[in-house]
Structure 1
Amino acid sequence: MKSYFKHSLWHFLGFLGFAAVFAAIVMLLWNWLMPHIFALPCINFLQAFGILVLSRILFGTFPSGWMARKEMARYHRHPLYEKWAGMNEKEREEFIKNRHHGFHGYPFGQEHSHSENTSEQ
Protein backbone atom coordinates (compact mmCIF):
# COMPACT_ATOMS: atom_id res chain seq x y z
CA MET A 1 0.00 0.00 0.00
CA LYS A 2 2.86 2.35 0.79
CA SER A 3 4.44 1.83 -2.63
CA TYR A 4 1.13 2.62 -4.35
CA PHE A 5 0.84 5.82 -2.32
CA LYS A 6 4.44 6.77 -3.17
CA HIS A 7 3.83 6.01 -6.82
CA SER A 8 0.66 8.12 -6.86
CA LEU A 9 2.40 10.93 -5.02
CA TRP A 10 5.22 11.00 -7.58
CA HIS A 11 2.71 11.08 -10.42
CA PHE A 12 0.81 13.92 -8.78
CA LEU A 13 4.02 15.90 -8.16
CA GLY A 14 5.12 15.25 -11.72
CA PHE A 15 1.79 16.53 -13.02
CA LEU A 16 2.08 19.66 -10.85
CA GLY A 17 5.62 20.24 -12.10
CA PHE A 18 4.52 19.83 -15.72
CA ALA A 19 1.58 22.20 -15.19
CA ALA A 20 3.83 24.78 -13.52
CA VAL A 21 6.38 24.70 -16.33
CA PHE A 22 3.64 24.88 -18.96
CA ALA A 23 1.95 27.81 -17.17
CA ALA A 24 5.31 29.61 -16.89
CA ILE A 25 5.87 29.19 -20.64
CA VAL A 26 2.39 30.54 -21.38
CA MET A 27 3.01 33.49 -19.05
CA LEU A 28 6.38 34.32 -20.63
CA LEU A 29 5.06 34.07 -24.18
CA TRP A 30 1.99 36.13 -23.33
CA ASN A 31 4.01 38.85 -21.63
CA TRP A 32 6.49 38.90 -24.49
CA LEU A 33 3.96 39.04 -27.36
CA MET A 34 0.49 40.21 -26.34
CA PRO A 35 1.27 43.62 -24.82
CA HIS A 36 3.24 44.64 -27.91
CA ILE A 37 0.95 43.17 -30.57
CA PHE A 38 -2.53 43.73 -29.13
CA ALA A 39 -1.85 46.23 -26.32
CA LEU A 40 -3.08 43.74 -23.69
CA PRO A 41 -1.85 43.84 -20.10
CA CYS A 42 0.81 41.48 -18.76
CA ILE A 43 -0.39 38.47 -16.78
CA ASN A 44 0.97 36.68 -13.72
CA PHE A 45 1.55 32.96 -13.15
CA LEU A 46 -1.91 32.21 -11.75
CA GLN A 47 -3.60 34.01 -14.63
CA ALA A 48 -1.54 31.94 -17.09
CA PHE A 49 -2.60 28.77 -15.29
CA GLY A 50 -6.21 29.99 -15.46
CA ILE A 51 -5.88 30.46 -19.21
CA LEU A 52 -4.69 26.86 -19.49
CA VAL A 53 -7.64 25.57 -17.47
CA LEU A 54 -10.06 27.70 -19.50
CA SER A 55 -8.59 26.39 -22.77
CA ARG A 56 -9.04 22.84 -21.46
CA ILE A 57 -12.68 23.52 -20.64
CA LEU A 58 -13.42 25.24 -23.96
CA PHE A 59 -11.35 23.17 -26.38
CA GLY A 60 -10.53 19.97 -24.51
CA THR A 61 -6.99 19.80 -25.89
CA PHE A 62 -4.85 19.12 -22.82
CA PRO A 63 -3.75 16.99 -21.03
CA SER A 64 -3.37 14.03 -23.31
CA GLY A 65 -2.83 10.65 -21.78
CA TRP A 66 -4.98 7.87 -20.44
CA MET A 67 -8.18 9.91 -20.60
CA ALA A 68 -7.64 10.83 -24.26
CA ARG A 69 -6.84 7.19 -25.09
CA LYS A 70 -9.95 6.09 -23.21
CA GLU A 71 -12.12 8.53 -25.15
CA MET A 72 -10.53 7.51 -28.45
CA ALA A 73 -11.05 3.81 -27.69
CA ARG A 74 -14.76 4.44 -27.39
CA TYR A 75 -14.95 5.46 -31.06
CA HIS A 76 -12.22 3.39 -32.68
CA ARG A 77 -11.09 -0.15 -31.96
CA HIS A 78 -7.64 -1.23 -32.94
CA PRO A 79 -7.65 -3.95 -35.65
CA LEU A 80 -5.41 -6.12 -33.49
CA TYR A 81 -8.04 -6.01 -30.76
CA GLU A 82 -10.65 -7.18 -33.25
CA LYS A 83 -8.39 -10.06 -34.31
CA TRP A 84 -7.76 -11.00 -30.66
CA ALA A 85 -11.48 -10.96 -29.89
CA GLY A 86 -12.12 -13.44 -32.71
CA MET A 87 -9.54 -15.97 -31.50
CA ASN A 88 -10.12 -19.02 -29.35
CA GLU A 89 -7.80 -19.97 -26.46
CA LYS A 90 -5.49 -22.14 -28.58
CA GLU A 91 -5.11 -19.43 -31.23
CA ARG A 92 -4.36 -16.87 -28.53
CA GLU A 93 -1.64 -19.06 -27.02
CA GLU A 94 -0.08 -19.55 -30.46
CA PHE A 95 -0.32 -15.81 -31.12
CA ILE A 96 1.43 -15.00 -27.83
CA LYS A 97 4.12 -17.58 -28.55
CA ASN A 98 4.84 -16.14 -32.01
CA ARG A 99 4.36 -12.45 -31.25
CA HIS A 100 8.08 -11.58 -31.09
CA HIS A 101 9.18 -13.54 -34.13
CA GLY A 102 7.20 -14.15 -37.25
CA PHE A 103 5.60 -10.75 -37.74
CA HIS A 104 8.34 -9.24 -39.90
CA GLY A 105 6.97 -5.78 -39.24
CA TYR A 106 3.36 -6.72 -39.92
CA PRO A 107 0.99 -6.84 -36.96
CA PHE A 108 -1.26 -9.51 -38.51
CA GLY A 109 1.34 -12.11 -39.35
CA GLN A 110 2.38 -13.63 -42.62
CA GLU A 111 -0.70 -12.89 -44.69
CA HIS A 112 0.59 -9.38 -45.43
CA SER A 113 4.25 -10.24 -45.96
CA HIS A 114 6.17 -9.60 -49.14
CA SER A 115 7.06 -13.31 -49.45
CA GLU A 116 3.62 -14.04 -50.89
CA ASN A 117 3.96 -11.24 -53.42
CA THR A 118 7.34 -12.48 -54.65
CA SER A 119 6.12 -16.08 -55.09
CA GLU A 120 3.31 -14.93 -57.38
CA GLN A 121 5.66 -13.09 -59.73
Structure 2
Amino acid sequence: MNYKKRGRRPRAFLFVLLGFLAILVFGWVVMLLWNAILPDLLNTKQISFWQAVGLLILSKIIFGFGHGGGHHRHHGGPSDRLRQKFRNMSDEERKAFREAWRQRCGQWRRFPDQES
Protein backbone atom coordinates (compact mmCIF):
# COMPACT_ATOMS: atom_id res chain seq x y z
CA MET A 1 0.00 0.00 0.00
CA ASN A 2 1.33 3.45 -0.91
CA TYR A 3 0.98 5.68 2.14
CA LYS A 4 2.33 8.79 0.40
CA LYS A 5 -0.61 9.00 -2.00
CA ARG A 6 -3.08 8.45 0.81
CA GLY A 7 -1.78 11.49 2.69
CA ARG A 8 -2.30 13.88 -0.23
CA ARG A 9 -6.08 13.83 -0.28
CA PRO A 10 -6.56 15.17 3.25
CA ARG A 11 -3.98 17.88 2.56
CA ALA A 12 -5.69 18.91 -0.67
CA PHE A 13 -9.08 18.91 1.04
CA LEU A 14 -7.68 20.96 3.91
CA PHE A 15 -6.09 23.42 1.46
CA VAL A 16 -9.39 23.87 -0.42
CA LEU A 17 -11.31 24.21 2.85
CA LEU A 18 -8.90 26.83 4.20
CA GLY A 19 -9.06 28.75 0.91
CA PHE A 20 -12.87 28.74 1.02
CA LEU A 21 -12.85 29.88 4.66
CA ALA A 22 -10.37 32.66 3.82
CA ILE A 23 -12.67 33.93 1.05
CA LEU A 24 -15.60 33.93 3.48
CA VAL A 25 -13.68 35.74 6.21
CA PHE A 26 -12.22 38.35 3.84
CA GLY A 27 -15.66 38.85 2.29
CA TRP A 28 -17.11 39.44 5.74
CA VAL A 29 -14.35 41.95 6.54
CA VAL A 30 -14.91 43.78 3.24
CA MET A 31 -18.64 43.94 3.95
CA LEU A 32 -18.11 45.30 7.46
CA LEU A 33 -15.60 47.92 6.33
CA TRP A 34 -17.71 49.01 3.35
CA ASN A 35 -20.87 49.30 5.44
CA ALA A 36 -19.07 51.10 8.27
CA ILE A 37 -17.24 53.67 6.15
CA LEU A 38 -18.59 54.29 2.66
CA PRO A 39 -22.34 54.91 3.17
CA ASP A 40 -21.67 57.95 5.39
CA LEU A 41 -18.56 59.10 3.55
CA LEU A 42 -19.66 58.80 -0.10
CA ASN A 43 -23.43 58.43 0.29
CA THR A 44 -23.45 54.88 -1.13
CA LYS A 45 -25.72 51.94 -0.33
CA GLN A 46 -24.77 49.21 2.08
CA ILE A 47 -23.76 45.93 0.48
CA SER A 48 -24.64 42.33 1.31
CA PHE A 49 -22.18 39.61 2.20
CA TRP A 50 -22.26 38.07 -1.29
CA GLN A 51 -21.77 41.46 -2.92
CA ALA A 52 -18.70 41.91 -0.72
CA VAL A 53 -17.36 38.50 -1.77
CA GLY A 54 -17.98 39.41 -5.42
CA LEU A 55 -16.22 42.74 -4.93
CA LEU A 56 -13.28 40.97 -3.31
CA ILE A 57 -13.00 38.49 -6.18
CA LEU A 58 -13.34 41.26 -8.77
CA SER A 59 -10.58 43.28 -7.12
CA LYS A 60 -8.29 40.24 -7.04
CA ILE A 61 -8.94 39.65 -10.75
CA ILE A 62 -8.22 43.29 -11.61
CA PHE A 63 -5.25 43.88 -9.31
CA GLY A 64 -3.78 40.38 -9.36
CA PHE A 65 -3.35 37.37 -7.15
CA GLY A 66 -0.43 36.59 -4.87
CA HIS A 67 2.29 39.21 -5.07
CA GLY A 68 0.17 42.09 -6.22
CA GLY A 69 0.22 41.03 -9.84
CA GLY A 70 3.51 42.78 -10.59
CA HIS A 71 6.82 41.31 -11.54
CA HIS A 72 9.26 41.27 -8.67
CA ARG A 73 12.94 41.17 -9.35
CA HIS A 74 14.74 38.52 -7.35
CA HIS A 75 18.11 39.74 -6.18
CA GLY A 76 20.94 37.27 -6.42
CA GLY A 77 19.59 35.71 -9.61
CA PRO A 78 21.67 34.68 -12.64
CA SER A 79 21.85 38.18 -14.12
CA ASP A 80 23.06 39.66 -10.82
CA ARG A 81 25.73 36.98 -10.48
CA LEU A 82 26.86 37.58 -14.06
CA ARG A 83 26.97 41.34 -13.50
CA GLN A 84 29.04 40.87 -10.31
CA LYS A 85 31.39 38.45 -12.05
CA PHE A 86 31.81 40.94 -14.93
CA ARG A 87 32.71 43.74 -12.50
CA ASN A 88 35.42 41.62 -10.90
CA MET A 89 37.11 40.75 -14.22
CA SER A 90 40.30 42.32 -15.44
CA ASP A 91 40.29 44.25 -18.74
CA GLU A 92 41.73 41.28 -20.64
CA GLU A 93 39.13 38.93 -19.17
CA ARG A 94 36.35 41.36 -20.11
CA LYS A 95 37.55 41.57 -23.71
CA ALA A 96 37.71 37.78 -23.98
CA PHE A 97 34.28 37.46 -22.38
CA ARG A 98 32.76 40.07 -24.73
CA GLU A 99 34.22 38.34 -27.76
CA ALA A 100 32.94 34.93 -26.66
CA TRP A 101 29.52 36.46 -25.96
CA ARG A 102 29.40 38.13 -29.39
CA GLN A 103 30.28 34.87 -31.11
CA ARG A 104 27.55 33.00 -29.27
CA CYS A 105 24.79 35.58 -29.00
CA GLY A 106 25.49 38.47 -31.32
CA GLN A 107 25.49 42.11 -30.22
CA TRP A 108 21.91 42.41 -29.01
CA ARG A 109 22.72 43.23 -25.37
CA ARG A 110 25.03 45.82 -23.81
CA PHE A 111 27.44 45.08 -21.00
CA PRO A 112 27.25 46.84 -17.62
CA ASP A 113 30.28 49.06 -18.11
CA GLN A 114 29.46 50.19 -21.66
CA GLU A 115 28.00 53.61 -22.29
CA SER A 116 24.58 53.98 -23.95
Q: TM-score, normalised by structure 1?
A: 0.53
- Superposed, 1:84-103 pairs within 5 Å as none
Instruction: Letter of the 2:54 partner, please give it.
Output: G
Computed over aligned residues only, the root mean square deviation of the Cα atoms, in angstroms, reads 2.6
User: Identity over aligned residues, as a percent?
Assistant: 31
Q: Is 1:24 aligned with 2:21?
A: no
> How far apart, in 2, do the equivalents of 1:40 and 1:18 lie?
26
Aligned residues: 76
Q: Which runs of 5+ in 2 are unaligned?
A: 83-116
* Bigger fraction of residues in helix: 1
Instruction: Letter of the 1:11 partner, please give it.
Output: F
Work out which of the residue numbers 22, 44, 63 in structure 2 matches 1:40.
Answer: 44
Q: TM-score, normalised by structure 2?
A: 0.55
Q: Which has the higher contact order (CA 8 A, sep 6+)?
A: 2
Q: Is 1:50 aligned with 2:54?
A: yes
> How far apart, in 2, do the equivalents of 1:38 and 1:10 lie?
40
Q: CA offset at residue 77 of structure 1?
A: 4.3
| Equivalent residue number for residue 13 of structure 2 | 9
Deviant stretches of 4+, over 3 Å: 75-78
Q: CA offset at residue 20 of structure 1?
A: 0.8
Q: Which runs of 5+ in 1 are unaligned?
A: 87-121
> How far apart, in 1, do the equivalents of 2:21 and 2:60 lie?
18
Q: CA offset at residue 2 of structure 1?
A: 2.5
Identify if the C-alpha distance between structure 1 residues 5 and 36 changes in structure 2 by more than 3 Å, giving closer, same or farther. same
Which deviations, in whole Å up to 9, do the C-alpha atoms of 1:85-120 show, x marking residues without a partner?
99xxxxxxxxxxxxxxxxxxxxxxxxxxxxxxxxxx
Instruction: Letter of the 1:33 partner, please give it.
Output: I
Secondary structure of the 1:42 match is coil
